[in-house]
Amino acid sequence: MPYRDGLALQEEAVAKRRAGATGDRLLLLEHPPVITLGRNAREENLLLGPAERQAQGLETIAVARGGDVTYHAPGQLVGYLVVDLAAGGKPDVSLFLRGIESALIRALAALQVPARRVPGRTGVFAGARPEASPDRKIASIGIGLRGWVSWHGFALNVDNDVAAFDCIVPCGLQDIEMTSVARELSAGGPGSPASPLGSRARRAVAQAFSSWFAPAAVL
């Protein structure tokens, strides 16, 4: 789905959630290649100029989520969380972010990919424990809030070509490398949305978030 269409879908879902017309929702999508800039994005983290991005067909869109710059492409599973953080009592954004990380770590475990948090860095990193090599980031997280209803969410690299992240400094972090489920499993190069790995990842993520947000609607 084109990224701007995904934004419109989220806008509609957020409006319905704020009106009480629906429950919490998880939207699972994939996008054509696009660079997005969060509220904390810095120009120097774009490694291609406007003309180079245009020549490569890379649209660049500023969005109302936290975080810096990231990249989306087919083979990456993007999850948009439309959740009323105040529904269960006092809202806690930090706890919500940690919950997203936990659900992704559980989903990755189901795919036989050990993953973990890194203190002080939002997102999920491959490997069960710190290693001598740079931290390998497998999922990025950035949310926005409207009246305590969340939107935006996470991007999990499944079988997309992580070399494409060379056009940016991912999340503004110079000392990491990007990885994917396929790379961690040594499953070869980029796949497609219909690949068996893509289908397995979508099911694992849906199940992990369903158990956390039940009775959320998973689309």
pLDDT (tens digit, 9 = 90+) per residue, 17-56? 999 999 999 999 999 999 999 999 999 999 999 999 999 9
Residue 214 binned pLDDT confidence (cut-offs 50, 70, 90): low
Burial letters 43-77, b for 16+ CB under 10 A, else e: eebbebeeeebeeeebebeebebbbbbbbbbbbbb
Average model confidence (pLDDT) across the chain: 90
Cα 67 to chain centroid distance, Å, stands at 11
Locate the domains of the chain by residue range: 3-218
Residue 195 binned pLDDT confidence (cut-offs 50, 70, 90): low
Dist CA 197 CA 188 (whole Å) = 11
Active centre residues (catalytic): 171
Q: What average pLDDT does the segment 199-212 reach? A: 93
Which range of 87-96, 143-152, 168-177 scores highest in mean pLDDT? It is 143-152
What is the pTM assigned to this prediction?
0.91
> Is it the case that residue 139 has pLDDT exceeding 60?
yes
pLDDT (tens digit, 9 = 90+) per residue, 172-183? 988 899 999 999
State the pLDDT at residue 189: 43
C-beta separation of 80 from 27 below 8 A? yes
Dist CA 113 CA 128 (whole Å) = 9
25 residue type, one letter: R
Closest listed residue to residue 139, CA positions, set 164, 107, 110: 107
Residue 143 binned pLDDT confidence (cut-offs 50, 70, 90): very high
Query: What percentage of the chain reaches a pLDDT higher than 90?
Result: 79
Query: What percentage of the chain reaches a pLDDT higher than 70?
Result: 92
pLDDT (tens digit, 9 = 90+) per residue, 144-154? 999 999 999 99
Superfamily of domain 3-218: Bira Bifunctional Protein; Domain 2 (3.30.930.10)
Closest listed residue to residue 14, CA positions, set 67, 82, 116: 82
C-beta separation of 176 from 170 below 8 A? yes
C-beta separation of 143 from 96 below 8 A? yes
Q: What average pLDDT does the segment 9-17 reach? A: 97
